[in-house]
């Protein structure tokens, strides 16, 4: 484990161990925050890596979270119906939400039934402020994945989205299908009390090395823009993805 002032890097053997570590942390953070504030406001990630954690949270560890005090959001979404196989909401519903007693009124997906991506992200930004607070909502935990190109949420290299001062943005022609997406920006992510990346696989090791090795000070890929202003940054990576992290 490698910890600097607000960044912790945890290397585990494989996806199964990463899911277990992520689940332990989710449970622990939820307990602490609910004890302190009475509710736990978390943004889930899309992609496949978090699914194993979701399944543990909704089975073995189900009784360790006060789900009626949990408020669920997403860091990003695909601009598809909530019933579409590509929907990150649907993936979370099937692997977690349908199996735990979270009140429907505490689940806030991107309203992709609206007529345009712009309308959807504008509505979601309003929901973030109305439910969590503003001018910039402060999540207790934001979960993120990362692609081999250094994208995170739906912030992709070469897109101006990562520099937006808005809370949310629509993304067109994203290199990871489906192409039309919705995302929170680093303005929101970096205001969180905790940001936790879940990253596995050898294909991501060059980018993990680039993002985490202190020598790289130039910010070019979106994952390099994720630097919480006051909160904690946690990287959970498996050994394959961690292969190029320099041991400082």
- Decide: is 151 part of the binding site for ligand 6PG (CB under 6 A): yes
- Decide: is 47 part of the binding site for ligand 6PG (CB under 6 A): yes
Q: Is the backbone peptide bond immediately before 178 cis, with ω within 30 degrees of 0?
A: yes
- Map the footprint of ligand 6PG across residues 183-212, applying CB under 6 A: none
- Decide: is 45 part of the binding site for ligand 6PG (CB under 6 A): yes
Residue with nearest beta carbon to ligand 6PG: 145
| CA neighbor of 239 nearest in space, from 202, 209, 211 | 202
Tokens 């006051």 locate to: 230
Which residue lies nearer to ligand 6PG by CB, 133 or 178?
Answer: 178
- Decide: is 62 part of the binding site for ligand 6PG (CB under 6 A): no
- Decide: is 90 part of the binding site for ligand 6PG (CB under 6 A): no
- Map the footprint of ligand 6PG across residues 152-181, applying CB under 6 A: 152-154, 176
Number of residues in contact with ligand 6PG, rule: CB under 6 A?
15
Shortest distance (Å) from residue 183 CB to ligand 6PG: 8
Identify the residue among 117, 137, 147, 231 touching ligand 6PG (CB under 6 A).
Answer: 147
- Eight-class DSSP state of 171: E
Shortest distance (Å) from residue 103 CB to ligand 6PG: 25
Strand order in the sheet with 76-78: 76-78, 181-184, 168-171
Candidates 46-54, 117-125, 127-135, 159-167; binding stretch for ligand 6PG (CB under 6 A): 46-54
Tokens 């332990």 locate to: 24
Distance of CA 121 to the CA centre of its chain: 17
Q: Which letter, b or e, does each residue of 71-106 get, where b requires 16 or more Cβ atoms within 10 Å of its Cβ? A: bbbbbbbbbbeeeeeebbbbbbbebbbebbebeeeb
Yes or no: say if 41 and 69 are a contact pair by the CB < 8 Å rule: no
- Eight-class DSSP state of 124: H
- Decide: is 117 part of the binding site for ligand 6PG (CB under 6 A): no
User: What does the binding site for ligand 6PG look like in residue numbers (CB under 6 A)?
Assistant: 45-49, 76, 88, 145-147, 151-154, 176
């Amino acid at each position: 484990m490698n910890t600097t002032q607000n960044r912790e890097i945890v290397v585990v053997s494989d996806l199964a161990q990463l899911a277990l570590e992520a689940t332990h942390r989710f449970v622990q953070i939820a307990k602490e925050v609910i004890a302190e504030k009475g509710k736990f406001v978390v943004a889930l990630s899309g992609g496949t890596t978090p699914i194993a954690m979701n399944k543990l949270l909704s089975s073995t560890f189900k009784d360790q979270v006060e789900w009626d005090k949990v408020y669920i959001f997403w860091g990003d979404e695909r601009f598809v119906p909530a019933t579409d196989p590509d929907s990150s909401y649907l993936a979370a519903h099937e692997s977690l939400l349908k199996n735990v007693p979270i009140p429907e009124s505490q689940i806030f997906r991107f309203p992709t039934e609206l007529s345009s991506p712009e309308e959807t992200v504008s509505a979601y930004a309003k929901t973030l402020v109305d439910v969590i607070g503003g001018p910039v909502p402060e999540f207790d935990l934001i979960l993120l994945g990362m692609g081999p190109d250094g994208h995170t949420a739906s912030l992709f290299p070469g897109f101006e989205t990562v520099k937006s001062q808005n809370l949310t943005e629509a993304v067109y022609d994203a290199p990871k299908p489906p192409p039309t997406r919705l995302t929170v920006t680093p303005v929101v992510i970096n205001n969180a009390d905790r940001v936790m990346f879940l990253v596995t696989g050898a294909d991501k090791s060059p980018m993990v090395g680039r993002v985490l090795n202190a020598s790289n000070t130039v910010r070019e890929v979106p994952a390099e823009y994720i630097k919480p202003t006051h909160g904690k940054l946690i990287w959970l990576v498996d050994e394959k993805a961690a292969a190029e992290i320099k041991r400082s």
